[in-house]
Amino acid sequence: MSPRIWRSEGERAAVWPGRSWPLGATWSEESTNFAVHAPRASAAWLCLLDDEGGETRHRLTEQTLGIWHGAIPGVVPGTRYGYRIEGPWDPGAGLRFNPNKLLLDPFARAVSGSLTVDPAIFGYAFGDPTEMSQSDSAAYVPTGVVVHDEFDWGGDQPMRRRWRDTVIYELHVKGMTALHDRVPEHLRGTYAGLATPAVVDYLKDLGVTAVELLPVHQFVPEPSLAERGLTNYWGYNTLNYFAPHNAYAASGDRGQQVTEFKAMVKAFHEAGLEVILDVVYNHTAEAGALGPTLSFRGFDDSIYYRVAGSDVPGEPAPDTYWDVTGCGNTVDAAQPFALRMILDSLRYWVTEMHVDGFRFDLMSALTRVDRRVDMGSHLLTAIGQDPVLRHVKLIAEPWDASMDGYRVGEFPPPWVEWNDQYRDEIRDFWRNHSPGIRQVATRLAGSSDLYADDGRSPYNSINFITAHDGFTLRDLVTYEHKHNEANGEQNRDGTDNNRSWNHGVEGETDDPALIAVRRRQAANMMATLCLSNGVPMITAGDERGRTQRGNNNAYCQDNETSWIDWRPDDAWLDVYEVTKMALRLRREHPALRQRHWFEGRPTILGGPKDLAWLHPSGREMEPDDWHDPDLRTIGMFVSGAPLRSPGPRGEQQVDKSFMLWFNATWVPQPIELPENDWVHEGVVVLSTDAKLPVGTEVKAGDRLDLGRRTVVVFRQS
């Protein structure tokens, strides 16, 4: 049914001039101000929507510097609204104005409703992309919401935990609690569900310090997924950069989601947990030139998206986008207004929503200047100079979907980076595909080859074994091949470079011996991750053996495939205990989370080296050892007497010393604990070797047998 339309707005409500800032809808007791950027439009209508399907259009007559604006009295918080924009229709020139499409305000603070895939959501007529569609989209698209929120933060302040003290837990808002039996049923899968003691206490007890939420900016599924009866579960298909995703709110979508999100952040902060958002500024849900017209495209295509351009001088640009995201479009952060939108969004989430940082998806796409990756780009420079943003946690995924976008180790301060080289080389080590021990040692010590040459620190490396995309940890030791048939793409999607090992049997098994090996391998990798220099990131559920049954690209699986199974009967609790113990050691001992690079020499005259690498024979590693392709066992001595980093008042810090042994061989490995002048006795404080359990006491000079594929950590007595 078509919405009712009243065009005589002058008889119903006066439109005051209002002001051109702030962008979006700003409520006051006197009126609500609306401001939207559409510099090449010839006319703009604000559309207020009622609950019976009625639409009242108010023409905005004021335009200031490309911003259409007006104030309307009597508009209450919770009111739904959208825009209709008139202007030239010339897709070949990047002009796609179509007043038949109800557009979502790019600066809306909340979004109501969901997207229904219908031909009406596309700006062009099906069958002829050059012809403007005459179908009205209002019945099929989500709308903005006027928000007024007086949330009581109760003195909540930024935590600003140091990077070297940070442990990240990457989780999905819905997947974390959708099956959680100790979260009230009506709160499962929501922001409020995350704020319950069942979740908060679990995270604190595990030992993480920050949650990294998969995308919570308002997103919609791709039409192609809807056609297959699937949806976008992960959320990497953003429609609005200011509004918390409404489907994750238990309390409603008329602004209640804003309050509920804030309450979640406050609860995490009260528990000492920071909140980091995974943000997707590199592309939008409008996809390529034949995608839907939902928001940005309808206001002015050219100010948001990079166009392909023409390779022939003097010829017009083709009607295509330049895409280095693999999603149909690339947001042009070099355009002044697109840059402003990104910066305004980031500041909003920090100042109004109190988040502590951001992980930028496909960050290389946003650093492009004239299509080249540029570490002096507009966005990086602006964030580095911003007095709010430069002090929050900033994580780059340092690549995009192009060949030249891979930039691991190149992002400038204050950025830290996802380190996929750590992921790959640690996986290869534990599956016996590493070409020796040299690169593994570099990763354990903080990846100095990537971050030391430009003055950065070990914590610039975000270390991870798994992430949301790819195998879970359990699947990494259970499958050698992806099993993505449920995604509806004939198993063509997802990477084939899994660096996994099924230990001889593809998939789950009832063989107790094989299960034990897999669980020990998972525990080995978690211990390695938590005790490496750098910042560890754990994927939610890995610590308890979550499986996706071999699906390594579960982006469209909003079901038990992706949700965490909290039942204890199939949980890998031994892996959980190793993870918890490793994080406890890291938290309690600054020797295991150092700020400065190891130098391989004493920190004080006559003292031990701050770091020494040991051969299984008990001697220090020699040059030839580093090139031995058959060496799969190494000892890592970390001195705590004293540390290279001073304490908060400049005092010398002293900690226990540690000896960490990593044995990736298929057979038990004899090792000798070296005689030395500094550490004479120790005790096992973490072990995946049943024959060397926690509490085992050792002395310098002891000869021991490390079990096959094990990690054992000794602490100085």
Which pLDDT tens digit goes with each residue over 519-552?
Answer: 999 999 999 999 999 999 999 999 999 999 999 9
Residue 313 is predicted with a pLDDT of: 53
Residue 320 is predicted with a pLDDT of: 79
Query: 697 — phi, psi (to 5°)?
Result: -95, 140
Residue 1 is predicted with a pLDDT of: 34
Q: Is the pLDDT of residue 13 over 70?
A: no
Residue 353 is predicted with a pLDDT of: 98
For residue 319, what are the CA distances in angstroms to 123, 285, 322? Answer: 14, 18, 10
Confidence class for position 219, pLDDT limits 50, 70, 90: very high
Q: Is the pLDDT of residue 104 over 60?
A: yes
- When mean pLDDT is compared across 144-148, 224-228, 305-309, 521-525, the lowest value belongs to 305-309
Q: Which helix (H) or strand (E) holds 436?
A: none
Q: Is the pLDDT of residue 15 over 80?
A: yes
Over residues 253-270, the mean pLDDT reads 98
Q: Which helix (H) or strand (E) holds 418?
A: strand 416-418
Q: Which of 253, 274, 356, 397 is catalytic?
A: 397
Q: Is the pLDDT of residue 12 over 50?
A: no
Q: Which of 361, 425, 542, 689 is catalytic?
A: 361
Are 319 and 91 in contact by the 8 Å Cβ rule? The answer is: yes
Is residue 397 part of the annotated active site? The answer reads yes
Query: 470 — phi, psi (to 5°)?
Result: 110, -175
For residue 644, what are the CA distances in angstroms to 163, 457, 597, 668, 688? Answer: 17, 13, 9, 35, 30
* Bridge partners, residue 637, by sequence: 612, 659
* Bridge partners, residue 86, by sequence: 43
Residue 310 is predicted with a pLDDT of: 45
152-174 per-residue burial string, b: 16 or more CB within 10 A, e: under 16? eeeeeebbebebbebbbbbbbbb
CA 655: distance to chain centroid?
33
CA 108: distance to chain centroid?
23
**End-to-end Cα spacing for the chain:** 77
Contacts 24+ apart (CB under 8 A), 412-417: 412/375, 412/380, 412/384, 412/454, 413/384, 413/455, 413/456, 414/384, 414/390, 415/380, 415/460, 416/163, 416/459, 416/460, 416/461, 416/462, 416/535, 417/460, 417/461, 417/462
Residue with tokens 């994927």, as numbered in its chain: 539
Q: What is the mean pLDDT of the chain?
A: 95
For residue 190, what are the CA distances in angstroms to 204, 239, 245, 249? Answer: 19, 19, 10, 5
Peptide bond into 642 cis (omega under 30): yes
Sheet with strand 43-49: strands edge to edge: 4-6, 54-60, 43-49, 80-86, 143-145, 111-112
Is residue 156 part of the annotated active site? The answer reads no
pTM: 0.96
For residue 635, what are the CA distances in angstroms to 381, 444, 470, 669? Answer: 42, 11, 30, 12
Over residues 195-210, the mean pLDDT reads 98
Confidence class for position 94, pLDDT limits 50, 70, 90: confident
For residue range 27-81, list pLDDT tens digits in order: 999 999 999 999 999 999 999 999 998 999 999 999 999 999 999 999 999 999 9
Q: Is the pLDDT of residue 486 over 80?
A: yes
User: C-alpha angle with apex 537: 613 to 669, nearest 5 degrees?
Assistant: 35
